[in-house]
Structure 1
Amino acid sequence: MNRPTWWRDAAADDEDTNAPAIGRSPENRRQALIKLMWIGIWMAYLGAPVSDLAEGHHTVPATVFGALGLLVFVTVYLLLVFRYTGRNLDRTAITRALGAICALAAVLTVTLGDAWLVLAVYVSVAFGAVLKPRLARWAIPLNTVAMVGVGLLVRSSHDLMSALVVPSLLGGFAMSAVGQMVRTTRALREARATVAQLAANEERLRLARDLHDLLGHSLSLITLKSELAGRMLPGKPEQAAQQVADIERVSRQALVDVREAVSGFRRPTLEAELAGARTALAAAGITADLHRAGAHHPDLPPDQEGALAWALREAVTNVVRHSGARRCTVVLTEVGDELCLTVTDDGRGATGPHGNGLTGLAERLQLADGRLETGPNDHGGFTLRALAPLSRSGADLPPVEHAPEP
């Protein structure tokens, strides 16, 4: 799929193989190592429990218990912060993991002394990492209060508890902000991908409409002229050669139009489409009444003129291919603040639902703030009315000649 250039440029901003993007899991071992190093920097505060174990202040069973407990605590903490920051997790898994590190922090502190109070700071950080903001704003202060209570229970110094209160609150709420930023970044990335997909779909729809209108008209004209040339070949070689020359001209113009449509530069004009309609109707042997459609309206914006021009092309193509009409009338009139293009034929009329051409035409007019009206007329044929708004920014200018609808 060919994505828009702006989408590719924006996506390139996130391409960094050396560091993981915010809100995105590491994609290779190097990114995982960098992220682990950033998280590991803050593990330096575990120096107090490690020193307490290394200095031999406890019995061998207590030291083994403390080492295993610290290992489990760090493992669960890293799992939460490393993999699940800002993610929507299963509530049961969150409860079990947070409950485990809360229990370990309390038991290790009560059992081994106040040096282990620092584990409560990591509990606050884990709360901020995995809980939603409305839960974290309550869980973090409650954990800090619990830390103070455990500190009083083990007779910790007031200086130590005071030194840990601020890191517990600050670290928890800072991590909550990081988690919210990760969630927001992920949502924006998904929204940008959705916008890119919608832009690509809109571009495909535009191209489909343009190609249908361009090729349907041109190929119909080529088919008619080929049939004429075939009938003229035995007795009228010069006229047949003229039809072949017209086929070549139409083919070359169709090729140019397709290239412009693919590039997004195609904007037809009413004047050009009226000339094409006259040629196509004459080639099909249909009498064309276009004398009330030749005026140019100065208040018609380019986008609206392009939509009406596409409507004229599609209407004439349908008349040539499907109507079996003998006469086709095109009228351009001003109706209030709108310019109305009316194409009427005396053919067999339309049956069944609208095809791709009229459906795409209605969408094209809607994009230009216009509308499409179709239905049978009093003569048994088919009438198409395309209306587009006029711009009234300047002084009053001579309006297009009003003419009654056929």
Structure 2
Amino acid sequence: MTADEPRRQRWRERLLAEDDLTADSGLGRPPETRRQAMVKLMWVCIWFAYLGEPVSDLLGGHHTLAAVLLGALGLLAYLGVYLALIFRRTMLAMDGRVFAPLGFLLGTALVLTLTLGYSWLVLFVYVSVAASAVLPMRLARLAILLVTGLLLGIGMTAPGAGDFLPWLVLPTLLGGAAMAGVRQMARTARALREARATVAHLAANEERLRLARDLHDLLGHSLSLITLKSELAGRMLPDRPEQAAQQVADIEKVSRQALVDVREAVSGFRRPTLGAELAGARTALTAAGIAAAVAPFPERHPDLPAAQEGALAWALREAVTNAVRHSGARRCELTLTEESDELCLTVTDDGKGPAGPHGNGLTGLAERLALADGRLETGPGPRGGFRLRAYVPLSRAGAAPEQQDPAPPVGSC
């Protein structure tokens, strides 16, 4: 290792540290969806408008046949390397393998411009965009300035440079900056998705820990009491059978109460909440390309029992699932309003509505709401589409004891 090698290593690490791609969470690069690939392709195709000048120059009869063939081959190779960099290396961390393709693009642009004419100066725009797509921010800025300087240096020697050169310098500078901005936005969106997944994972772990603590507290005391009373009944059994029988009765009572406590704890663990379902509804609608108009939901209505809240949460989940899967809607509105002594959840979309009678999902949802003393209303919305309204009663004196949630509905309409 030479004396300058540690300094080069520190410089390389500092450059990479400035690039957010090295700050991945370790989850790896997510697979690119077809929609993302199409958006990237459309963005890339915008820049292909600048290829009109080189193509016109090749087809204009200004060069020999050999020059035209070599120029066409050089242009095809140039575009192949450019597309490979844009599609394969944009979201990966930088390594030394990107310098050879970038050098090829820059060398090809220089050779074709100097041999075939100034119409090929537009290739420097693609070099700037490619450098911004694969290099860390500091190196990308230097590369943009270098490419722009070469463009100016060569273009100033052309006759009438003042007429066309500004129209090439601006795209070279702004194109590189735009690609850097798009790349930064993609990294931010990717980091946000990973952060949301991490938050959901931590929330699930926290809920598991809560359930474990509850079960430990519930069963630890009950099982300890059952053990003590069993030992006491065993000692009493030969001489005092009546007292032993009383201890056995106490054991039965404690075990039944422990069973009730465990069922309540598990029921509270499984019951959905409006807050959690609202977050899931936003994510599902956004992923389906449906604009979500959500009125502010209260985090916890003071007069809404847990069983009724669970029924409304199931209603919200079923309605959003139907909108995503079957409606073909472009907009979905979610509101939660208080009407007299009831709370009403309304989900309205602008889709095509149901094609027939209720399926298993809405039928099971109506049954679930009935168990919570609520009701379900469905039909066309005020401006077409489909509207679902789920009503549950607010708490009142003499309300019936809370029932355990039945199994979630199966299927959808």
Q: 1:159 to 1:58 in 2, by over 3 A?
A: same
Residue 102 of structure 2 is aligned to residue 89 of structure 1: no
After superposition, the C-alpha distances for 1:310-329 in whole angstroms (9 at most, x for unaligned) are xxxxxxxxxxxxxxxxxxxx
Q: 2:154 aligns with which of 146, 150, 155?
A: 150
SS at match of 1:221: helix
Separation of aligned partners in 2, 1:24 and 1:41: 25
Separation of aligned partners in 2, 1:112 and 1:254: 88
Residue 50 of structure 1 is matched in structure 2 by 55
> Where does structure 2 lack aligned partners over 5 or more consecutive residues?
1-28, 270-413
Q: 2:181 aligns with which of 155, 173, 177?
A: 177
After superposition, the C-alpha distances for 1:43-73 in whole angstroms (9 at most, x for unaligned) are 1221211121122221111111111111111
After superposition, the C-alpha distances for 1:303-348 in whole angstroms (9 at most, x for unaligned) are xxxxxxxxxxxxxxxxxxxxxxxxxxxxxxxxxxxxxxxxxxxxxx
The 10-residue stretch of structure 1 (210-219 or 166-175) with the greater mean CA deviation from structure 2: 210-219
Letter in 1 for 2:209: L
2:94 and 2:136 in contact (8 A); partners too: no
What does 1:2-401 align with in structure 2 at a 5 Å threshold?
24-28=30-34, 32-90=37-95, 92-155=96-159, 157-262=161-266
2:155 and 2:165 in contact (8 A); partners too: yes
SS at match of 1:121: helix
Shift of 1:121: 0.9
SS at match of 2:63: coil
Separation of aligned partners in 2, 1:190 and 1:162: 42
After superposition, the C-alpha distances for 1:358-380 in whole angstroms (9 at most, x for unaligned) are xxxxxxxxxxxxxxxxxxxxxxx
After superposition, the C-alpha distances for 1:153-193 in whole angstroms (9 at most, x for unaligned) are 45463211111111111111011111112222222323333
Shift of 1:194: 2.7
Shift of 1:237: 4.2
Letter in 1 for 2:171: P
After superposition, the C-alpha distances for 1:356-406 in whole angstroms (9 at most, x for unaligned) are xxxxxxxxxxxxxxxxxxxxxxxxxxxxxxxxxxxxxxxxxxxxxxxxxxx
1:39 and 1:82 in contact (8 A); partners too: no
Separation of aligned partners in 2, 1:257 and 1:223: 18
Q: 1:194 to 1:211 in 2, by over 3 A?
A: same
Separation of aligned partners in 2, 1:68 and 1:154: 25
RMSD: 2.4
Q: Bigger relative contact order, structure 1 or 2, given CA contacts below 8 A and separation 6+?
A: 1
Identity of aligned residues (%): 66
Separation of aligned partners in 2, 1:215 and 1:236: 29
Separation of aligned partners in 1, 2:88 and 2:122: 22
Q: 1:24 to 1:112 in 2, by over 3 A?
A: farther
1:45 and 1:118 in contact (8 A); partners too: yes
Separation of aligned partners in 2, 1:131 and 1:124: 11
Separation of aligned partners in 2, 1:178 and 1:48: 26
Q: 1:85 to 1:135 in 2, by over 3 A?
A: same
SS at match of 1:164: helix
The 10-residue stretch of structure 1 (63-72 or 38-47) with the greater mean CA deviation from structure 2: 38-47
Separation of aligned partners in 2, 1:188 and 1:177: 16
Separation of aligned partners in 1, 2:140 and 2:39: 27
SS at match of 2:32: coil
The 10-residue stretch of structure 1 (81-90 or 63-72) with the greater mean CA deviation from structure 2: 81-90
Shift of 1:233: 4.2
Q: 1:204 to 1:175 in 2, by over 3 A?
A: same
Separation of aligned partners in 2, 1:156 and 1:204: 73
1:226 and 1:243 in contact (8 A); partners too: yes
Separation of aligned partners in 1, 2:52 and 2:261: 74
1:26 and 1:32 in contact (8 A); partners too: yes
Separation of aligned partners in 2, 1:47 and 1:174: 21
1:25 and 1:83 in contact (8 A); partners too: no
SS at match of 1:89: coil
Separation of aligned partners in 2, 1:156 and 1:252: 96
SS at match of 2:165: helix
Q: 1:219 to 1:81 in 2, by over 3 A?
A: same
Q: 1:80 to 1:25 in 2, by over 3 A?
A: farther
1:127 and 1:139 in contact (8 A); partners too: yes
SS at match of 1:222: helix
Separation of aligned partners in 1, 2:55 and 2:176: 23
SS at match of 1:145: helix
Shift of 1:120: 0.8
Separation of aligned partners in 1, 2:146 and 2:220: 72
1:133 and 1:180 in contact (8 A); partners too: no
SS at match of 2:156: helix
After superposition, the C-alpha distances for 1:124-163 in whole angstroms (9 at most, x for unaligned) are 1112211222222222122112111121345463211111
